[in-house]
A = this chain, B = another copy of it.
Amino acid sequence: MPDDPRLTAIGLFFEAYTGLAARFARQFEEHGLSPVEFEVLMRLSRSPSRQLRMTDLAAQTSLSTSGVTRVVDRLERDGLLCRQACPSDRRGSFAVLTEAGFARLKETLPGHLRLIDEWFTGQLTPDELDNLLRALRKIRDAVHPGATAGSSGYAHEPAE
Protein backbone atom coordinates (compact mmCIF):
# COMPACT_ATOMS: atom_id res chain seq x y z
CA MET A 1 0.00 0.00 0.00
CA PRO A 2 2.63 2.60 0.78
CA ASP A 3 3.93 2.62 -2.78
CA ASP A 4 0.69 2.55 -4.64
CA PRO A 5 0.99 4.04 -8.12
CA ARG A 6 -1.64 6.56 -7.20
CA LEU A 7 0.69 7.97 -4.59
CA THR A 8 3.41 8.24 -7.16
CA ALA A 9 0.99 10.08 -9.40
CA ILE A 10 -0.10 12.87 -7.03
CA GLY A 11 3.45 12.98 -5.76
CA LEU A 12 4.56 13.88 -9.21
CA PHE A 13 1.82 16.45 -9.50
CA PHE A 14 2.61 18.01 -6.16
CA GLU A 15 6.33 18.12 -6.72
CA ALA A 16 5.91 19.75 -10.10
CA TYR A 17 3.66 22.32 -8.47
CA THR A 18 6.02 22.97 -5.60
CA GLY A 19 8.97 23.41 -7.92
CA LEU A 20 7.14 25.86 -10.13
CA ALA A 21 5.69 27.79 -7.23
CA ALA A 22 9.12 28.19 -5.67
CA ARG A 23 10.61 29.64 -8.83
CA PHE A 24 7.74 31.98 -9.34
CA ALA A 25 7.96 33.12 -5.74
CA ARG A 26 11.58 34.10 -6.16
CA GLN A 27 10.76 36.23 -9.16
CA PHE A 28 7.81 37.89 -7.44
CA GLU A 29 10.08 38.76 -4.58
CA GLU A 30 12.36 40.66 -6.95
CA HIS A 31 9.43 42.98 -7.43
CA GLY A 32 8.51 43.16 -3.77
CA LEU A 33 5.51 40.88 -4.02
CA SER A 34 4.53 37.64 -2.36
CA PRO A 35 2.68 35.03 -4.40
CA VAL A 36 -0.67 35.92 -2.82
CA GLU A 37 -0.08 39.58 -3.38
CA PHE A 38 0.68 38.95 -7.01
CA GLU A 39 -2.46 36.90 -7.34
CA VAL A 40 -4.57 39.62 -5.77
CA LEU A 41 -3.19 42.26 -8.11
CA MET A 42 -3.69 39.90 -11.01
CA ARG A 43 -7.31 39.19 -10.16
CA LEU A 44 -8.07 42.84 -9.67
CA SER A 45 -6.46 43.78 -12.96
CA ARG A 46 -8.71 41.33 -14.75
CA SER A 47 -11.89 42.47 -13.13
CA PRO A 48 -14.24 45.12 -14.46
CA SER A 49 -13.05 48.55 -13.30
CA ARG A 50 -10.10 46.76 -11.76
CA GLN A 51 -11.96 46.29 -8.54
CA LEU A 52 -13.47 43.47 -6.56
CA ARG A 53 -15.46 43.03 -3.38
CA MET A 54 -13.48 41.65 -0.48
CA THR A 55 -15.65 38.56 -0.43
CA ASP A 56 -15.18 37.87 -4.10
CA LEU A 57 -11.47 38.26 -3.71
CA ALA A 58 -11.59 35.71 -0.95
CA ALA A 59 -13.55 33.31 -3.12
CA GLN A 60 -11.10 33.63 -5.98
CA THR A 61 -7.92 33.30 -4.02
CA SER A 62 -7.63 30.43 -1.65
CA LEU A 63 -7.73 32.80 1.28
CA SER A 64 -10.29 33.21 4.02
CA THR A 65 -12.06 36.54 4.21
CA SER A 66 -9.90 37.52 7.12
CA GLY A 67 -6.85 36.53 5.14
CA VAL A 68 -8.01 38.86 2.40
CA THR A 69 -8.49 41.67 4.88
CA ARG A 70 -4.82 41.39 5.82
CA VAL A 71 -3.34 41.12 2.33
CA VAL A 72 -5.42 44.08 1.29
CA ASP A 73 -4.14 45.92 4.37
CA ARG A 74 -0.58 45.36 3.24
CA LEU A 75 -1.21 46.22 -0.38
CA GLU A 76 -3.10 49.33 0.61
CA ARG A 77 -0.29 50.39 2.92
CA ASP A 78 2.09 50.00 -0.05
CA GLY A 79 -0.23 52.03 -2.24
CA LEU A 80 -0.86 49.26 -4.75
CA LEU A 81 -4.59 49.29 -4.18
CA CYS A 82 -7.10 51.21 -2.15
CA ARG A 83 -10.37 50.43 -0.45
CA GLN A 84 -13.50 52.09 -1.60
CA ALA A 85 -16.91 51.94 0.02
CA CYS A 86 -19.64 50.14 -1.86
CA PRO A 87 -22.42 52.62 -2.60
CA SER A 88 -25.19 50.06 -2.85
CA ASP A 89 -24.33 48.12 0.30
CA ARG A 90 -22.82 50.01 3.13
CA ARG A 91 -21.37 46.86 4.69
CA GLY A 92 -19.22 46.12 1.73
CA SER A 93 -16.02 47.55 0.35
CA PHE A 94 -14.14 47.22 -2.88
CA ALA A 95 -10.46 46.69 -3.29
CA VAL A 96 -9.50 48.90 -6.21
CA LEU A 97 -6.23 48.58 -8.07
CA THR A 98 -4.29 51.86 -8.13
CA GLU A 99 -2.11 53.07 -10.96
CA ALA A 100 0.91 52.12 -8.89
CA GLY A 101 -0.52 48.66 -8.42
CA PHE A 102 -1.15 48.24 -12.10
CA ALA A 103 2.33 49.49 -12.87
CA ARG A 104 3.84 47.03 -10.43
CA LEU A 105 1.97 44.26 -12.11
CA LYS A 106 3.10 45.32 -15.57
CA GLU A 107 6.64 45.40 -14.32
CA THR A 108 6.37 41.91 -12.85
CA LEU A 109 4.51 40.12 -15.61
CA PRO A 110 7.15 39.82 -18.34
CA GLY A 111 9.53 37.97 -16.06
CA HIS A 112 6.71 35.80 -14.86
CA LEU A 113 5.72 34.87 -18.39
CA ARG A 114 9.31 34.08 -19.16
CA LEU A 115 9.45 31.67 -16.24
CA ILE A 116 6.24 29.99 -17.33
CA ASP A 117 7.73 29.48 -20.75
CA GLU A 118 10.98 28.26 -19.41
CA TRP A 119 9.72 25.78 -16.85
CA PHE A 120 6.21 24.88 -17.83
CA THR A 121 4.94 25.31 -21.35
CA GLY A 122 8.42 25.22 -22.82
CA GLN A 123 9.12 21.80 -21.36
CA LEU A 124 6.47 20.23 -23.53
CA THR A 125 5.67 19.84 -27.18
CA PRO A 126 2.57 21.76 -28.29
CA ASP A 127 0.78 18.45 -28.41
CA GLU A 128 1.77 17.43 -24.94
CA LEU A 129 0.86 20.81 -23.62
CA ASP A 130 -2.51 20.53 -25.22
CA ASN A 131 -3.19 17.17 -23.64
CA LEU A 132 -1.92 18.37 -20.30
CA LEU A 133 -4.22 21.35 -20.31
CA ARG A 134 -7.19 19.26 -21.27
CA ALA A 135 -6.50 16.89 -18.40
CA LEU A 136 -5.91 19.70 -15.95
CA ARG A 137 -9.12 21.35 -16.97
CA LYS A 138 -11.05 18.19 -16.23
CA ILE A 139 -9.51 17.94 -12.81
CA ARG A 140 -9.91 21.60 -12.06
CA ASP A 141 -13.54 21.57 -13.06
CA ALA A 142 -14.20 18.57 -10.86
CA VAL A 143 -12.33 19.82 -7.86
CA HIS A 144 -12.98 23.49 -8.12
CA PRO A 145 -15.26 24.88 -5.44
CA GLY A 146 -16.53 27.69 -7.68
CA ALA A 147 -13.87 30.28 -7.30
CA THR A 148 -15.13 32.48 -10.07
CA ALA A 149 -17.30 34.72 -7.95
CA GLY A 150 -17.51 38.29 -9.14
CA SER A 151 -15.38 37.88 -12.24
CA SER A 152 -13.74 35.39 -14.53
CA GLY A 153 -10.57 34.89 -12.55
CA TYR A 154 -7.17 34.92 -14.11
CA ALA A 155 -7.00 31.20 -14.49
CA HIS A 156 -10.27 30.76 -16.27
CA GLU A 157 -11.06 30.42 -19.89
CA PRO A 158 -12.16 33.67 -21.49
CA ALA A 159 -15.54 32.23 -22.35
CA GLU A 160 -16.37 31.05 -18.88
Contact = CB atoms under 8 A, between A and B. Distances in A.
A135 B12 CA distance: 10
Nearest to A144: B19
B136 A7 contact: no
A105 to B, nearest CB: 8
A117 B11 contact: no
Q: How many copies does the complex hold?
A: 2
Contacts of A22: 62, 145
Given A1-B106, A142-B123, A143-B20, A116 B12 contact: no
Contact of A116 (B10, B109, B121, B157): B10
Interface residues of A, number: 60
B113 A155 contact: no
Interface of A: 1-4, 6-23, 42, 45-46, 62, 105-106, 109, 113, 116-117, 119-121, 123-124, 128-129, 131-140, 142-145, 147, 153-158
10 contacts: A7-B155, A8-B154, A9-B133, A11-B154, A11-B155, A13-B136, A14-B21, A15-B144, A131-B131, A131-B135
